[in-house]
Every structure is written in C-alpha cells, then in structure tokens.
C-alpha cells in the first residue's frame, strides 16, 4: 500500500527542486482526492439531503485533479501546480457567502493558495498569487455589487511576504544541504578512489616482494649447492692430487737413496730441491683438503684426555728444526699451574698449534718466535704465539681469519700457502667453543692468543 502511494507520488523531473515540488503537488492532489471521496461517500450515506449540486462539483473536482496529475507527471510540474492553485482559489471563492469571502470570516482561506504557491511554485509566486487573489476578491465584490476591496488584499500581501520568506529560506537550506551532500559524495568518492589506488599499489608491492622472495630462495639454494659442490670438488681434487704427489716424493726419495744407482753432487742437490718443492705442494693440498672438510661440516671433535705438556713438547720438537734452519730463536714457556690432563681433541689441537707456530716461523725472517701455554682460569687454558715477524697492517687485521687471505700478496708470495692456515685455526677454535684474538704492529711482530675450555666435553655439550 505504502509503495503504491509512494509510486503515485513520485515524479521523474530532473531538477531536484522541481522534483520536490511536483511530489508535493502529488501529495496535495492525493489529499484533495481523499477529502472529495469522503465527502461524496457522506453524501451517499445521507441520501443527498444537503445540496444536490455538490455531487457534480465533487465529480468535476476529481476529473480536474486527474487532469492535473496527468499534466504534472507527463507535461510540466509548474503548469499543473498553477492549474491546481487556480482551481483551489475558485473552490475557496465559492465556499462561503461573497461578503464573508472578500473580507469576513472566510478571508483567511485565501492564505492557503498563497502559502501553497510559495512551495509548489517558486517562492516569489507567493506575491503573484497574492495579486491574483486580490483580483479574484475584487471580481467577486464587483459581481455581487459590493464595495471595492483594498484592505483585505493588502493584509493578504503580508501573508505572501511571510510565505515568500519561509519558502525562500527552505529552498536555500535545501540547496545548501544538497551542496553539502554533493561535497560529501565527492569526498567519499575521492577517498574510495585513493583507497583503491593505495590498494593496487600495495598489491603490486606485495607481488614484487613475493617475486623477490622466490628469487632469493632460488639464489640461496644455488649458493648452497654451489658451496657444497665446491667443497666436494676441492676434497676430491685434493685427494686425487695427494696420491701422485706422494708417489713423486717416493720416487725422488728412492733416487736420493741411490736405489737406481749413484748420483752426481748436482743431481743430488736438484733432487733435494724437488723434494722440498714437493713437500710445499703437499702442504698446500693438505690445507685445501682441511678447509674443504671444515666447510662441508665433516669435522667431528673427539673428547679424549691428553697431557698438555707432552703436546706442547712434541710440537716444539717438531717445529724447532724449521726454526734452526731459518736461524730464528724459538723457545717455549709452559705454565706449571696447568693440570696434568685436559679433555679435548688432540689431533685438531695439534693442528691449531702447528698452524699458529708454523705461520709465525713462516713470516719471521730474524728475531724470535715464542710459544706460551698458560693457565687462564678454572675453566680455560690458553695458547699464545708471539713473533718478531712482518706483522699485520691495522686495516687487514679483521680479514686475516678469512680463507684465502694473505695480507701483502707480493711480499708473501715467496712464502707459499693459500692463507688458509688462520682460517682453519679460527674454525677449529670456534668449534671447540674457544676464542682467538690477535695483536700486531706492522713491521714489528704479531701475537696470537687462543682461549680454550679445559674440558671440551662440558663446553660443547
């Protein structure tokens, strides 16, 4: 029912003000139709006992209402409104005695079309309507032989003024409201658009990140497999190199042992040189093999009891020959506070000793190399290797524990080695939960300090 009524009322005008007015007119027409029907129904019930000519007036009104509605919906709202107002004025003008209508008790009825004109048409039509009503009043006066009316149209003009003012302010308020609404709509639209743009950018960014992440995973896998391949290749190559190197050394020693007959002095010297070179080469290959083994995490530490004194002594005995050959003073200091037995991996400790002392001897031309084994505290012991060798420039100290680093390549080339010795030491020390540090002055010497747990088993548990 409500939807039927609202469908009846709705008008399709484009201008919102015109639309509002046309809708208002439709409501009026609906009201008039309702009142008409009620009156006609009452007439039927009371058997036309009042005035018989009301019936055709009622039916005529209905017909005019229908036509007005048609004009309002299909042709023009303002024309329909004007028609309705004229009709209303005519109805009012015959609704009472002429003298009452033009200046008596029913004069106020004319305020209705004036007020309606201001809202159904434009606000200033209140004045037009007032003027029209003034004419109507005087026409009625003239037709009925009454006096010319001036005061009543003027008083109605006051009503017209009020109607104009209120309708105008209503119009202005509505217009302002519409503007606000429009601005709000625009704002919502802008916000929505900005959000959409931000959303698209965000999605693009996410896509880019996902892509980068995928690429990173691929690159990481490639790097890992390349590293594994490198370690494996290195290990295999080193292993394959060691066998023929061993054989070459063996044949050279056989030659030197004169298994294949006697030798000239120069031949013997040459063989000795080749043997030395072969030993250098073997050492390099061993370094590579050890690094590859450390890289591929194959190293497993042993936990065994050993005598630190015997270990230090055997290292000293083994390396003092090298020091004698170079004419370097090599001495060792052993801290008597150290316990007789320590727990650790003797094989790898031996390697730490040999690499540190071997390095010191390698990089010292004259002066001294000193090996100290010290009792650090209840839990730790330490190895200190000091020399008066070439030292390390300050800028290079951070890098010396990385693989393949020799500080001054031109100077150290003659000393051989891949510079893996310290890298291996560092790796082993950290596997044993120890610490290594270095102090050095370029041109004056270096001092390497290693701290290791007295009980490896406890320390790496």
Partner 1 sequence: MKKPFALIIEDHVHTATIFSAALKQVGYETKIVHDGLNAHDTIKLMSPDVVVLDLHLPHMSGEQLLDQIRADERLTKTKVILASADPLLAKELEQDADLVLVKPISFDQLSLLSRRLMPESE
Residues 6 or more apart whose CB falls under 8 angstroms from that of 87 comprise 61, 64, 68
Size of the residue set binding partner 1 (CB under 8 A): 16
* Residue 323 to residue 362: CA distance in whole angstroms: 9
Residue from 245, 360, 371, 373 touching partner 1 (CB under 8 A): that is: 245
Least distance between partner 1 and beta carbon 454 (Å): 23
Least distance between partner 1 and beta carbon 340 (Å): 23
- Whichever of 136 and 235 has its CB closer to partner 1, that residue is 235
Q: Does the protein bind partner 1 through residue 242 (CB under 8 A)?
A: yes
Residue from 30, 249, 311, 438 touching partner 1 (CB under 8 A): that is: 249
Least distance between partner 1 and beta carbon 253 (Å): 4
Q: Does the protein bind partner 1 through residue 277 (CB under 8 A)?
A: no
Structure token pair of residue 274: 């080749």
Q: Does the protein bind partner 1 through residue 297 (CB under 8 A)?
A: no
Contacts of the segment 345-349: beta carbons below 8 A, 24+ positions apart: 345/301, 345/302, 345/303, 345/304, 345/432, 345/456, 346/302, 346/304, 346/306, 346/311, 347/302, 348/299, 348/301, 348/302, 348/428, 348/431, 348/432, 349/306, 349/311, 349/452
> In the beta sheet, which residues pair with residue 450?
383, 436
Site string for partner 1, 150-169 (x = CB under 8 A): --------------------
Q: Does the protein bind partner 1 through residue 251 (CB under 8 A)?
A: yes
* Residue 334 to residue 432: CA distance in whole angstroms: 22
Residue 362 near residue 397, CB atoms below 8 Å: no
Residue 309 near residue 340, CB atoms below 8 Å: yes
Least distance between partner 1 and beta carbon 233 (Å): 17
Residue from 282, 296, 375, 405 touching partner 1 (CB under 8 A): that is: 282
The tally of CA atoms less than 13 A away on the side-chain side of residue 245 is: 17
Residue from 38, 135, 206, 247 touching partner 1 (CB under 8 A): that is: 247
Q: Does the protein bind partner 1 through residue 246 (CB under 8 A)?
A: yes
- Whichever of 1 and 259 has its CB closer to partner 1, that residue is 259
* Residue 314 to residue 331: CA distance in whole angstroms: 13
| Selected range binding partner 1 among 3-11, 84-92, 253-261, 407-415, rule: CB under 8 A | 253-261
* Residue 245 to residue 455: CA distance in whole angstroms: 38
Q: State which of positions 301-360 bind partner 1 (CB under 8 A).
A: 347
**Which residues contribute to the site for partner 1 (CB under 8 A)?**
239, 242-247, 249-251, 253-254, 257, 259, 282, 347
């Amino acid at each position: 029912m409500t939807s039927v009524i609202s469908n009846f009322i709705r008008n399709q005008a484009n201008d919102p003000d015109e639309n509002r007015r046309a809708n208002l007119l439709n409501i009026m027409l609906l009201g008039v139709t309702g009142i008409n029907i009620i009156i006609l129904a009452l007439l039927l019930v009371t058997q036309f006992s009042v005035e018989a000519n009301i019936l055709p007036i009622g039916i005529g009104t209905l017909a005019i209402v229908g036509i007005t509605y048609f004009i309002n919906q299909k042709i023009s709202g303002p024309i329909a409104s004007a028609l309705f107002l004229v009709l209303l004025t005519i109805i009012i003008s015959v609704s009472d005695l002429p003298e009452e209508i033009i200046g008596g008790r029913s004069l106020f009825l004319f305020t209705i079309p004036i007020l309606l004109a201001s809202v159904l048409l434009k606000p200033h039509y209140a004045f037009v309507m007032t003027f029209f009503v003034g004419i109507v009043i005087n026409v009625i006066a003239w037709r009925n032989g009454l006096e010319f009316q001036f005061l009543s149209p003027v008083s109605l003009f006051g009503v017209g003024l009020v109607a104009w003012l209120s309708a105008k302010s209503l119009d202005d308020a509505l217009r302002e409201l519409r503007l606000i609404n429009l601005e709000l709509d625009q704002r919502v639209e802008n916000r929505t658009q900005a959000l959409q743009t931000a959303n698209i950018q965000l999605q693009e960014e996410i896509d880019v990140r996902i892509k980068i992440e995928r690429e990173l995973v691929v690159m990481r896998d490639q790097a890992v497999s390349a590293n594994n391949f490198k370690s494996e290749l290195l290990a295999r190559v080193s292993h394959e190199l060691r066998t023929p190197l061993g054989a070459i050394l063996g044949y050279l020693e056989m030659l030197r042992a004169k298994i294949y007959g006697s030798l000239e002095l120069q031949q013997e010297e040459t063989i000795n040189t080749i043997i030395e070179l072969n030993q250098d080469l073997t050492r390099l290959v061993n370094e590579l093999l050890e690094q590859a083994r450390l890289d591929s995490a194959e190293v497993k530490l042993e936990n065994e009891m050993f005598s630190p004194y015997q270990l230090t002594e055997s290292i000293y005995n083994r390396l003092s020959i090298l020091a004698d050959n170079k004419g370097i003073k090599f001495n060792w200091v052993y801290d008597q506070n150290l316990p007789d037995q320590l727990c650790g991996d003797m094989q790898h400790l031996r390697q730490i000793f040999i690499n540190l002392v071997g390095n010191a001897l390698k990089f010292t031309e004259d002066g001294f190399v000193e090996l100290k084994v010290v009792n650090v505290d209840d839990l730790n012991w330490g190895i200190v290797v000091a020399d008066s060798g070439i030292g390390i420039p300050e800028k290079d100290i951070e890098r010396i524990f990385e693989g393949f680093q020799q500080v001054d390549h031109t100077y150290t080339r003659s000393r051989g080695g891949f510079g893996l010795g310290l890298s291996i030491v560092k790796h082993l020390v950290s596997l044993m939960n120890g610490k290594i540090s270095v102090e050095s002055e370029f041109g004056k010497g270096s001092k390497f300090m290693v701290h290791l747990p007295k009980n490896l088993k406890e320390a790496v548990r």
